[in-house]
Amino acid sequence: MNARPLATEKGYTLAELLVVLVIFGIVLTLTTASFNRIVLTSGQTIRSSETEIEGLIGLEVLRADLELAGFGLPWSFQNDIVYSEAASVSGTNKPPDPAPYNDAPNHSPRAIVSGDNVGFNHSDYLVLKGSALGSSDASRKTSYMTYGPVVRATKNGDTDLRLGSLDKAIALNATTRSGVGTRELVMNGAQFFFPFDSLGHLVQNSPAFLPKALNDNYLVYGLLDGDSSSDPAAPFNRADYYLFRPDDINSRCAPQTAVLYKGILNPGGSFQTLPLLECVADLQVVYGFTQDSRLNGTIDLHDDKVTGFSAAAATARDIRDQVREVRVYVLAHEGKMDRDYVYPKSTVPVGEFGHGSLFDLPAVIGAKCPARQPDCWKHYRWKVYTIVVNPKNLN
């Protein structure tokens, strides 16, 4: 039986095949280009989101510390005192020297102090002081002691110092001196801290730190954990905020940007450093001052120096009475360089009320751009983060 022949034996011509291949190639090229664009855009979006999350977390640490500035800080001393703070730092490729912001060896500590345009890219250097600004568990705990037939203290709780823990603490006597309210540091001679032992051991070993009169109400603030091998060098903890560019900075960061660090003062004068935010170009601090020493006093003056209405450097009392607002501005960029993006401005105001800085992107960032792309500064998404705090623990 013979096979039935095909209805037609006509096929595709070479020209038709070439046309199909060209069309297929065009479609494939467009699809690939679109996919690459989606990948690049997604990558930029992911990196921008990472920067945003990183910024929110890091700057929340700064905001919380601003709220805690002055917490558990002595206003006066019962006896003559000698304490130590930050050791001096010098040399190239080092953070700014922290020593100029010391109140040691015997002055009442200032809750907030800063250096104006002393850091990387003429950024500010911010220093906060208070018992709760340490890294130990004890620094976030408090108690109180009252006078009576038996000295009493708070019961155990998550935020209470535990009797018998031996956590190293200070006691402040909320009293008056010459008709002026104060929080006087209770001392035993020159010693200003004591182990928060059981009441029986406190009576036996540290009687100088216990209430002695009916109207004595001692506020107790932890500084270091009981198992710490070091003793407190000062009757407070301290946190410094500054910009520094390390050698191993993230490669996605623009030239001439740095890392925002938090430095926690160790008893020996050195710092435990924590990176908070990468790719930062500037840090500026602006204060709001009042001439009304009441807590609800309206703001009469803004300045980027913590001098307020004082003719000379502000004292601890000046800061307590006058500072009602602290504004921190951080200039950073989101994600990495995007060649298809152009930042619309060449200067960025980092601050308000005529204070802070007008950051010149071409002059500062552009000066470090590679020769093959001298305008690299404009291909970053620059953003100013603003933190505004009305500190409640100063006064």
For 214-227, give the DSSP string: TT-EEEEEEEE-TT
Q: Which of 108-122, 298-312, 348-362 has the lowest mean pLDDT?
A: 298-312
For residue 96, the 8-state DSSP code is P
pLDDT at residue 346, as a whole number: 97
Among 209, 170, 162, smallest CA distance to 189 is for: 209
pLDDT of amino acid 92: 81
Q: Which of 363, 355, 380, 353 is nearest to 280 (CA)?
A: 380
Provide the Cα torsion 300, 71, 116, 53; round to 10°. -100
Res. 349 pLDDT band, cuts 50 70 90: very high
Res 113: pLDDT: 95
Listed in sequence order, the DSSP H helices in the chain are 14-68, 199-205, 316-322, 361-364
Strands 168-177 and 152-153: unpaired
| pLDDT surpasses 70 at 157 | no
Q: Is 270 exposed, middle or buried (0-12, 13-18, 19+ CB in 10 A)?
A: middle
Burial 128-144 (b: 16+ CB within 10 A, else e): bbbbbbbbbebbbbbbb
| Amino acid at position 352, single letter | E
Is the pLDDT reported for residue 40 higher than 70?
Answer: no
Spatial distance between the Cα atoms of 301 and 6, rounded to a whole number of angstroms: 97
At 97 the three-state DSSP class reads coil
Each residue of 8-34: pLDDT tens digit? 556 667 777 777 788 877 887 777 766
pLDDT over 70 (residue 139): yes
What percentage of the chain's residues is helix, strand, coil (to nearest 5)? Answer: 25, 30, 45
**CA dihedral angle for residue 52, residue 56, residue 58, residue 61, rounded to 10 degrees:** 180
Residue 279 pLDDT more than 80?
yes
Q: Using CA atoms, how far apart are residues 193 and 134, in angstroms rounded to an integer?
A: 15
Q: H or E stretch including 185?
A: strand 180-185
Q: What is the mean pLDDT of residues 105-127?
A: 96
**What is the pLDDT, as a whole number, of residue 184?**
95
pTM for the predicted model, two decimal places:
0.85
Task: State the Rg of the chain over Cα.
Answer: 30
Asked which of 39-48, 226-235, 322-331 is least confident by mean pLDDT, the reply is 39-48
- Look at residue 365 in the predicted model and tell me its pLDDT: 98
Q: Is the pLDDT of residue 41 over 60?
A: no
Residue type, 160: D
How many CB atoms within 10 Å of residue 4?
6
Tokens at 315, concatenated: 């004292």
275, 261 contact by CB (below 8 A): yes
Domain assignments of the chain as residue spans, ordered by start: 50-135+235-389, 138-224
Report the share of the chain in percent with pLDDT over 90.
63
4-8, 35-39, 278-282, 312-316: segment of lowest average pLDDT:
4-8
